[in-house]
Amino acid sequence: MKILFCLFAGLSLTVGYAQTGKPAATATTAVSVVAAKRPGQAVYEQYCLACHQANGSGVPNLNPPLRGIDWVLGDKTRLINVLLKGLQGQEIEGEVYDNAMPAHDFLDDAKIADVLTYIRSNFGNKADAVKADEVRAVRAVK
Ligand code: HEC
């Protein structure tokens, strides 16, 4: 009986810590910050920003820019395939880049549509949105 009581006391202590501990509080704050942003921006910050930078400038010789680039503004099928299949060794507007663009096919159709809509309407870009249905159609062809 005594052992059982000790176990129970230990358990409630752990639960108490999880509820009041700092990490749990930080996680809640982070979620509400993400929710307040446009969906494509959250995806961009998590999966693209490290290489293409917050303002879409890219990094010379390593990662291409996303602003004013025909790959971003032009044909949607080609653009969707960059995310689904990745890209490597392409000459982009006269430049070559040492890094490879990893495939992001693990993102669902809506997330890919959101992030592509985000890059097509930011960094000074003005192109129409990409819809989840369009991503689904390109993925189906793969
Ligand atoms: C590891 C770094 C890295 C990450 C992460 C990354 N990219 Fe890329 N991206 C590249 C590189 C390098 C290229 C050029 C590949 C080549 O040289 O063929 C590229 C090319 C592109 C292109 C076509 C060329 C251009 O300049 O527009 C688009 C569009 C693009 N990336 C969008 C994205 C998006 C959206 C994400 C996030 C979902 C992302 N990238 C994540 C490195 C990255």
pLDDT at position 39 is 86
Domain enclosing residue 50, as ranges: 40-140
- Evaluate whether residue 32 is within a structural domain: no
DSSP H helical ranges for the chain: 2-20, 22-36, 39-47, 49-52, 70-73, 76-85, 109-120, 132-141
Ligand 1 centroid to residue 71 C-alpha, Å: 10
Does position 24 have pLDDT exceeding 70, yes or no?
A: no
Count of other CB atoms within 10 angstroms of residue 49 = 14
Q: What is the pLDDT of residues 49-59, one digit of tens each?
A: 999 999 999 99
| pLDDT bucket at 12, cuts 50 / 70 / 90 | very low
- State pTM to two decimals: 0.80
CATH classification of the domain holding 102? 1.10.760.10
Output the DSSP codes for 43-84: HHHHHTHHHH-TTS--BTTTB---TT-HHHHS-HHHHHHHHH
Q: What is the pLDDT of residues 108-117, one digit of tens each?
A: 999 999 999 9
Atom 23 in ligand 1: residue holding the nearest Cα = 71
* Total domains present in the chain: 1
Round to whole Å and give the CA distance between 42 and 40.
5
